[in-house]
Amino acid sequence: MRELTDHRLRQREYLLRISRAMTEQLDLSGVLGLVITYAVEMLAGTSGLIALYDDDGDELRIRASSHLDRTIWPAFAPLLTLAPHEISRRGVDVLRDVASDTGMPLRQMIALPLTLRETPVGVIYVFRAALNVGFSADDRQVLQDFADQAAIAVSNARLYQSVLREKQRLDATIEQSADGVMIIDGRWRITTFNKAMEQLTGWSREEAIGRPCAEVLGIHNSQGVNICLTDCPLQRRPLQENPIAEGKVTTRDGREIYVQSRYAPQRSPGGQLLGAIANVRDVTAQKREEELQNTLLSVISHELKTPVSIIKGYAGTLLREDVTFSAEQYRDGLAVIEDEADRLARQIRDLLDVSRLAAGGMRLDPREFALAALVDEVVRSFAPQAGERFQFELRFPDDLPPVLADYERIRQVLANLISNAIKYSPEGGTIRIGGWAESERAIVHVADQGIGIAPEEQNQIFNRFYRVDNRLRRETQGSGLGLYLVRAIIEAHGGRVWVESQVGRGARFFFTLPLGHRRLPE
């Protein structure tokens, strides 16, 4: 009796040790390896395998084995097709066939179903090379307890594996997102920081993780206040489901960008922040486009209104019946109306060109023509405006080949550059226009002796609506579109435009155009 009691205690201790080992292991492969190893050991077997049902619960698949080479697993497939009630009746015959196919001494088989809450999980098969005695009721209970523990361990490991896969999928989705994504905890500290956030902010994830989000992102409003510190969207009252913050961010590498950060917070029943996902998007381009649109409205309301007002004023004056005007006064008034109408037409044309560019490009009608002849024509059109204050010097070699370009568009380029040369040379001087051939292109320059352009502004003057910041800006009219259109037209021809200038010593604008075919002298 004492020996029986000691045997039962050893069985229980062994089962406890096995259960503890299995529950400490969450890796599915590791759990299956432990289960089949302990099963073969408990049942005094020579080999064994464990098969699990697939996700649909329809088919058993071998997942691990003990003392069975993986290459012979397919030979055991007929065993997996036997229903539990068929194993005792047909199992011996099937086992004999498997032994014959594999050449292994398989004389006896024990199958332990793995079930969790009446749901089949899998089956453990243990094989013996010799016929052993059966099992007592206590032995069967121990085996059943082992099978129950194994089913729990396997289910937990599969669940953990499923959660791990979902996490890996989520991590991959976050990492590959085109938008910046960061996750913060209940203390506003960053726990996840994707690649797009690194590129957006200039912070590496190693530096960013663990830091407060207000330090890394630091969204500032138009007054320069860090709203992440003073008006955190996750703390606004009343609480919002998906709060948004928008403003300027200075990146770690010194760039200034506009961002929009949309938050998906997780809160406790009492409203306490548990964490949040922030989706951060660079909206610099949209913001600048909005600013340009606002500037465009300002240009339209001011620049277009001015010539219209002058035209209306002069026309109204000339129509007055209570005043008698001389013929010269009529001519002067009509000349002003004509000049202002021309200016209005140019401004409308420029705005239309900008709209065409925004809509997808500029249409060109290229043909060959002599550049020097076009320059001479444009210069003569500026003679009344230039007056006696300006002298024009044209320097083109006689053998300069024709250019291949849109005649009217290049007229527009020259007119804009010459107009600027006059406008920003309040003391007058000489305006030099020339060009030469170099390889397959013509290089043209327009130089003045005006106020010049500061180095820090030379890269900006070709942007839409940009005007040089100096005293003449307030004294001269303009929409800030002229040089933008010059660049757009030249680049549409495959050329480029640039400027060389020193403050107080004038400016020299260059542009390139493709050459046409060289003509041989007759």
268-282: per-residue pLDDT in tens?
888 888 889 989 998
Q: Cα angle vertex 24, ends 19, 27, to 5°?
A: 110
pLDDT band at 354 (very low <50, low <70, confident <90, very high): low
Fold (topology level) of 2-167? Beta-Lactamase (3.30.450)
- Give yes or no for residue 7 having a pLDDT over 60: no
Fold (topology level) of 180-282? Beta-Lactamase (3.30.450)
Among the residue ranges 333-347, 409-423, 442-456, the one predicted with the least confidence is 333-347
What is the predicted pLDDT for the residue at 133?
64
pLDDT band at 520 (very low <50, low <70, confident <90, very high): very low
**Count of beta carbons in the 10 Å neighbourhood of residue 214:** 16
Q: How far apart are CA 190 and CA 180, in angstroms?
A: 13
Q: What is the location of CATH 1.10.287.130 in the chain?
A: 287-358
Rounded average pLDDT over 369-396? 88
Distances in whole angstroms, Cα of residue 374 to Cα of each of 266, 401, 410, 414, 491: 69, 13, 9, 9, 20
Phi (first) and psi of residue 145, to 5 degrees: -60, -40
What is the predicted pLDDT for the residue at 32?
83
Which tens digits make up the pLDDT trace of 83-121? 877 877 788 888 888 888 888 988 888 888 888 888 888
Among the residue ranges 91-105, 458-472, 505-519, the one predicted with the least confidence is 458-472
pLDDT band at 55 (very low <50, low <70, confident <90, very high): confident
Selected residue with higher pLDDT from 466 and 227: 227
Which tens digits make up the pLDDT trace of 141-187? 777 777 777 788 888 888 888 888 888 888 888 888 888 899 999 88
What is the predicted pLDDT for the residue at 509?
95
Within 8 A by CB and 6+ apart from 331, the residues are none
- Give yes or no for residue 511 having a pLDDT over 90: yes
Which pair of structure tokens corresponds to residue 219?
A: 């969204």
- Looking at the chain, the whole-number percentage of residues with pLDDT higher than 90 is 19
For residue 355, how far is the Cα from the chain centroid?
27
CA contacts within 13 A on the Cβ side of 192: 21
Q: How far apart are CA 200 and CA 220, in angstroms?
A: 15
What is the predicted pLDDT for the residue at 110?
84
Q: What is the location of CATH 3.30.450.40 in the chain?
A: 2-167
What is the predicted pLDDT for the residue at 416?
87
Pairing of strands 190-193, 180-185: antiparallel
- Give yes or no for residue 342 having a pLDDT over 60: yes
Sign of CA dihedral 13, 17, 18, 22: positive
Q: How far apart are CA 419 and CA 412, in angstroms?
A: 10
Q: What is the location of CATH 3.30.450.20 in the chain?
A: 180-282
Q: How far apart are CA 494 and CA 405, in angstroms?
A: 10
Among the residue ranges 168-172, 301-305, 314-318, 484-488, the one predicted with the least confidence is 301-305
When computed from its CA atoms, the radius of gyration of the chain, rounded to whole angstroms, is: 43
Q: What is the pTM of this model?
A: 0.47
Give, as one character, the DSSP assignment of residue 448: -
Amino acid code (one letter) for 36: I
- Give yes or no for residue 478 having a pLDDT over 60: no
Amino acid code (one letter) for 418: I
Which pair of structure tokens corresponds to residue 415?
A: 């007119």
Distances in whole angstroms, Cα of residue 86 to Cα of each of 61, 78, 95, 129, 362: 18, 12, 12, 22, 81
pLDDT band at 474 (very low <50, low <70, confident <90, very high): very low
Rounded average pLDDT over 378-402? 87
pLDDT band at 472 (very low <50, low <70, confident <90, very high): very low
What is the predicted pLDDT for the residue at 139?
59
Selected residue with higher pLDDT from 342 and 12: 342
* DSSP sequence for 263-298: EEEEE-TT--EEEEEEEEEE-HHHHHHHHHHHHHHH
What is the predicted pLDDT for the residue at 10?
58
What is the predicted pLDDT for the residue at 296?
63
Selected residue with higher pLDDT from 70 and 12: 70
* DSSP sequence for 288-332: HHHHHHHHHHHHIIIIIHHHHHHHHHHHHHHT-SS----HHHHHH
Rounded average pLDDT over 224-251? 85
pLDDT band at 518 (very low <50, low <70, confident <90, very high): low
Best CATH choice for the domain 366-514 from the list 3.90.470.20, 3.30.565.10, 3.40.50.300, 3.40.109.10: 3.30.565.10
* DSSP sequence for 138-169: HHHHHHHHHHHHHHHHHHHHHHHHHHHHHHHH
Within 8 A by CB and 6+ apart from 163, the residues are none
CATH (residue range 287-358): 1.10.287.130
Phi (first) and psi of residue 60, to 5 degrees: -90, 140
Which tens digits make up the pLDDT trace of 399-442? 999 999 999 889 889 988 998 898 888 888 899 999 999 988 99
Q: What is the location of CATH 3.30.565.10 in the chain?
A: 366-514
- Give yes or no for residue 522 having a pLDDT over 50: no
pLDDT band at 25 (very low <50, low <70, confident <90, very high): low
Rounded average pLDDT over 120-141? 76
Give, as one character, the DSSP assignment of residue 212: B
| Sheet bearing 190-193, strands edge to edge | 190-193, 180-185, 273-282, 256-267, 244-250
